Structure 1
Amino acid sequence: RSEKFVTMATRTRQEYLKDLVTNYSSTTPIDTGQKFSIFSSKKKDKIRPRFIPDACQRGAILWQVTLDDSGQSQQIECFLGISTDTLVLIEEQTKQIVFVTPCKSILGWAPQTSSLRIYHHQGECTTIHMRDANGDRDELMEIMERLKAVTPGIVVQELSLNRNIMGQLGFHVQPDGIVTLVESAGQAWQAGLRQYSRL
């Protein structure tokens, strides 16, 4: 193929398209519904694709959330993005990264009615609120499914631990929060605390 002929063919196609638009187009909208159609003439709402939370979706999945900024005592509207290796919060207005952490450092999460506490690193906590609480999809469940698929974390369990008669809790813990020993007949064991749990 000659470069000259390819250029000529492209130019000819473009001229035909320009002629078609100029001479044979109309600004009148076309009604797609038929007058006596057996099918509904209303436009169908777009069906939302099925949510796939697993790690085969390598890129970040985004949700609009509100972040509790405890340092500034305010809430920030953000995009929450969770990829297979990173969790990131980006402020909507400034497009600046507010928070980022590797997925492997996510310890767990605790859902509330329309919010989620995400625990990471050495037990730090980030709280996000769902923006569309009345929507037709459960974004909170989607976020938890994505976290379950791409992080080592789990849903947090809340335990009430009482002291025994001698004032002891009945377990030993390392500085990083890992429980190393739980007395088998103690109140902590009965409450559900087990060795290698993280506080």
Structure 2
Amino acid sequence: MADSNDQPAYYEDAKGRMIPARLVKAADLLEDDLVRRLIDRAESISGMLRSFKGSVFEDVGAFLAILSDQYGASRGGRKGNITFTSYDGKLKVQVAVADHLTFGPELQVAKSLIDECIGDWSQDANANIRVLVDHAFRVDKEGQVSRESIFALRRVSIDDPRWARAMEAIADSIRIAGTKTYVRFYRRDSQESPWRSITLDLANA
């Protein structure tokens, strides 16, 4: 309920209780007003960014359709990664598609085979490999193993059939859980200058 000055007679607190306006501190009301104004602006900008991202992909798709009609082929690299550059070479737009990878149960088979190998090798020979393996199979706070560290194991060449089977199990464990498309914008002052990212991420602005 609001009073004659359109000020609420009660304010809901963080516990869901209705507090009479006269009991609410002025500083709390100022903070409440600040947060609400900033959130309104943030949601407005977020909506603009979503709209902008959608229009970017629409424009890119339209351009690729023109090229396809003109040359009978699409322009793009592996998995659709594409770079567009202005005529003067000072502006660049990159569209990249990244796979989100997970690992299936074969990964645990690989870990067992690797542990068996290390257990049978001499202590001096396996110390560094043990560190690498422990790091690769260590899970983060989300319960995920390090993709880069797992792939680093596959680059280690060891003449042991169990190691080879473990690396094969790792390869078989890889699952593509989905893909995400990114678009990035760059500018530079001259053709010899380094590229500067045009940041649309608030945390890095």
Q: TM-score, normalised by structure 2?
A: 0.22
> Which structure is higher in strand share?
1
Q: TM-score, normalised by structure 1?
A: 0.23
